[in-house]
Amino acid sequence: MQNNWQFPHRRWNPLRRSWVLVSPHRTQRPWQGEVGQKTFPSATVYDPECYLCPGNKRAGGAENPTYSSVFSFVNDYAALLPDAPALDVAASSPLLQAEPARGICKVLCFHPDHSLTLARMTREEIRPVVDAWTAEYQELGAHDWIQYVQIFENRGAMMGASNPHPHGQIWSTSFIPDEPAAETAAQYDHLARTGRCLLCDYLETERAGNPGNGERIIFENAHFTTLVPWWAVWPFEVLLLSRRHAGAFPDFSSDERDALADALHRLTTRFDNLFETSFPYTMGFHQSPTDGKDYPEWHFHAHFYPPLLRSATVRKFMVGFEMLGMPQRDITPESAADRLRACSETHFWPRS
């Protein structure tokens, strides 16, 4: 890595079309901020008080089946509803705009075992989760009013997860949300300008090692690459990319779904091993909208946004300049990738 990268500089995010400030010298400053608690994997296989465990009654009153693999249901406290009445908004100013927002929000339990996370599940156990994500994308996207299906997971209390049971969420919306809309515009413009896919070009650049000799790549398998992106904002942010140009879950073959399960298992295990804790993050898949249009520019990928900065107990906060000016990070993406590469893929806390 070039030595001058250790001094303050900005990096361009072509997917979001925005800048991030990199300030590597700040890693030397003393820390007197909030210190959290180290979190270890749970030993509780079944929790009678958990509203996601098999056979238990949920907060909304419904009873879960005694499921043995994945299980999905409509969120009892959904942020969006299938029906929304018209709004009575005064049209006296273009600055006061509003419109109804409809959607279907679901919860997907990854496994009946309350103690597990993706990091502690096997590849074989994660594969049904990949299949369920695929089916939900297809089924929800088949509604003629659903324009986008956002699949995500909030892992850990630090990221606002209200329940430690292994699960994620799926919000399907009557509109394309801001982040995928911005990525759609960037990918479309790149394709129109160059005739090529933006993320295919980016992946080729990273794999060719220009610049940096591939030092941001963490690992690859036959079908997926994981790397700390050139423009990473969060300290150990990771971008997971399909190596073949594909727009969405249904485009993947059985072998590719196996490879995605493998990549998720290996990456989340490395995360946990980095600080020997149950590593918190927000993770989500970005893929083609479901509004019935063609999106040849779209390249399937997942973002992992973990908050931990220095240890299992010290996290990064987006405050001050980050909120009022632009995102900023301390450790370089190359340093973060190097530390994740050095992590074992055997989990520090084995399953009993």
CATH classification at residue 248: 3.30.428.10
Q: Give the domain range for residue 201.
A: 33-87+95-341
Active site residues: 167
Q: Is residue 351 part of a domain?
A: no
| Residue 167 · residue 108 · CB < 8 Å | yes
Per-residue pLDDT of the chain (352 residues; tens, 9 = 90+): 456 777 899 999 999 999 999 998 775 555 445 556 678 888 899 999 999 999 999 988 999 999 999 999 999 999 999 998 888 776 678 888 889 999 999 999 999 999 999 999 999 999 999 999 999 999 999 999 999 999 999 999 899 898 999 999 999 999 999 999 999 999 999 999 999 999 999 999 999 875 556 899 999 999 999 999 999 999 999 999 999 999 999 999 999 999 999 999 999 999 999 999 999 999 999 999 999 999 999 999 999 999 999 889 888 889 999 999 999 999 999 999 999 999 999 999 988 7
User: How many domains does the structure of the chain reveal?
Assistant: 1
Q: Is residue 5 part of a domain?
A: no
Q: Is residue 16 part of a domain?
A: no
Q: What string of DSSP letters covers 92-109?
A: S-TTS-----BEEEEEEE
Sign of the CA dihedral with 49 first, then 50, 56, and 59 last: positive
Query: Using CA atoms, how far apart are residues 314 and 32, in angstroms rounded to an integer?
Result: 10
The pair phi, psi for residue 135, each rounded to 5°, is -65, -40
For position 31, what pLDDT does the model report?
Answer: 47
Q: Is residue 185 part of a domain?
A: yes
Q: Is residue 213 part of a domain?
A: yes
Q: Is residue 2 part of a domain?
A: no
pTM of the shown model: 0.95
Kindly list the distances between the CA atom of residue 202 and the CA atoms of 40, 64, 199, in Å, as whole numbers in the listed order.
Answer: 36, 44, 5
For position 30, what pLDDT does the model report?
Answer: 53
For position 54, what pLDDT does the model report?
Answer: 98
For position 275, what pLDDT does the model report?
Answer: 95
For position 331, what pLDDT does the model report?
Answer: 92
Q: Is residue 227 part of a domain?
A: yes
Q: Is residue 350 part of a domain?
A: no
Nearest in space to 105 (alpha carbons), one of 81, 137, 136: 81
DSSP 315: B
